[in-house]
Amino acid sequence: MIDKNSPLPIYSQIEEYIKERIEKGELKPGDVLPPEREYAEQFDVSRMTIRQAINNLVNDGLIYRKKGSGTFIAEKKFEQPLQGLTSFTEDMKGRGLTPSSKLLSFELIPVSANIAAVLHISEYTPVYEIKRIRMADNTPMALETCYISANLIKGLTEEIINQSLYQYIEEKLQLEIGEATQVIESALANDLEVELLKINEGDPILLIERCTYLKNGTPFEIVRSSYRADRYKFTSKLKR
C-alpha cells in the first residue's frame, strides 16, 4: 500500500489510503480511527509521519479530534453551489434530506436604521424578525436571523415560516423573487452558537449575510446566518 520509493511523500500516501477508505464507506462518520502507534506499525513508519497525515486530514475536515476520546471520521460536508437562489428548505429537499426548523422567536419589531437602509424603508417601519435553528435530518446546520419587510410580505405566521417562505411569497402572494447579494466570512463560534449548533468552543463557522430582492429590484429580506463549517462548504463555477 505504501511505496517508499515513490516521489509522493509517505504521509501523503497514508492520507490517500485513509481518504479512499472513507470514500468507499469502510470508515463511516463517527467511526474512531486506529491510534497513531497502530498505523505506524502497519506501515512501518514513524509516528511523526502518521501524525502529519492525520493533521492534514483534520485540516481538510475529513476527521476530527475529541480530547480524551480519540480521532473520528467527520460527517460529510454539504456542498452548496454559489449559483442559483434557493431557500434552505428547497436546498435540503433537493439533497434528499428532511429540512426542519426550531423557532426561537418570531416578532414584529420597528426596524433599526442599518436594516432599514438595506431594505430601502424608513427607520422604525415594522419588520418581521425571525430567529431559528435550521436543521437537516434533525441535525443543527445553521443559526439564522431574518428581517422581512412587513409592508411588502404580508400575513406571515409561524406556520408559514415553518414551511417554505419563498414558496409562500411566490405562490400565495404572487410576487416574483429575482436575485440576492451574499457576503461570506469566517469566524469562531460564540457561546450561543456553540450551545445551539452543538459544536465545540472555538470551532469555525461561516457567517453569511444575504439580501434578497424581488424581480422588480425591491429588497424584501435580510438573512444573517451562522453555518457550521464542519458540515458546509461552498463551491463556485467560474468561466473565463
**Pair 57, 160 in one domain:** no
**Pair 46, 115 in one domain:** no
Cβ-based burial of 210 (10 A; exposed 0-12, middle 13-18, buried ≥19): middle
User: What residues have CB less than 8 Å from 135, skipping those under 6 apart?
Assistant: 99, 100, 101, 102, 141
Parallel/antiparallel/unpaired status of strands 232-235 and 78-81: parallel
**Residue 240 forms part of a structural domain:** no
Strand residues in the chain grouped as ranges (E): 63-66, 70-73, 78-81, 99-110, 126-136, 139-149, 177-188, 204-214, 219-228, 232-235
**Pair 49, 113 in one domain:** no
DSSP letter string over 184-204?
EEEEE--HHHHHHHT--TT-E
Classify residue 32 by its DSSP letter. Answer: B
pLDDT the model gives residue 172: 93
* Cell (9 digits) for 130: 425571525
Q: List the chain pLDDT tens, one digit each, 240 residues.
A: 677 888 888 999 999 999 888 888 888 888 999 889 999 999 899 999 999 999 988 887 788 888 788 898 887 766 665 556 666 777 777 767 787 889 999 999 999 999 999 999 999 999 999 999 998 888 898 999 999 999 999 999 998 888 788 889 999 999 999 999 989 898 999 999 999 999 888 888 989 999 999 999 999 999 999 988 877 777 777 677
Q: Are 71 and 54 in contact, with CB atoms under 8 Å apart?
A: yes
In which domain, by residue range, is 43 found?
Answer: 10-73
**Pair 30, 102 in one domain:** no
Q: Tell me the whole-structure pTM to 2 decimals.
A: 0.68
* Cell (9 digits) for 128: 418581521
Q: Please, what is the end-to-end C-alpha distance for the chain in angstroms?
A: 40
For the chain, the domain total comes to 2
**Residue 150 forms part of a structural domain:** yes
CATH number at residue 167: 3.40.1410.10
